[in-house]
Amino acid sequence: MMTEKQLWNAYLSTLTDEQAFAMRYTAWHFDDNETSANALAELVLLGEKRATASSLWVYEKESAPLP
């Protein structure tokens, strides 16, 4: 199994240098505990969970740009 960094680097290797330079990624998980995160990930894999959203206050607290 590949780590997220290995997977990302494998993807970048399919791009031109110019395209790859403009790309970046973030890795995250669902919820705040392993049990819930795994259960929600399983729902994604089953096709039952097809969307998610973040709270506005998280972006405000971290002074992060809105997606």
Q: Which tokens is 20 given? A: 């790859």
How many Cα atoms occupy the beta-carbon half-sphere of 16 within 13 Å?
2
φ/ψ region of 22 (left if φ > 0, alpha if ψ in -120 to 50, else beta) reads alpha
Contacts of 40 (CB under 8 A, 6+ apart): 30, 31, 49
Q: Is the pLDDT of residue 24 over 80?
A: no
Higher pLDDT, 47 or 17: 47
Q: What is the pTM of this model?
A: 0.53
Domain range summary for the chain, segments of one domain joined by +: 4-61
Q: Is the pLDDT of residue 27 over 80?
A: no
28-44: per-residue pLDDT in tens? 889 989 999 999 999 99
Specify whether the CB–CB gap between 32 and 54 falls below 8 A.
no
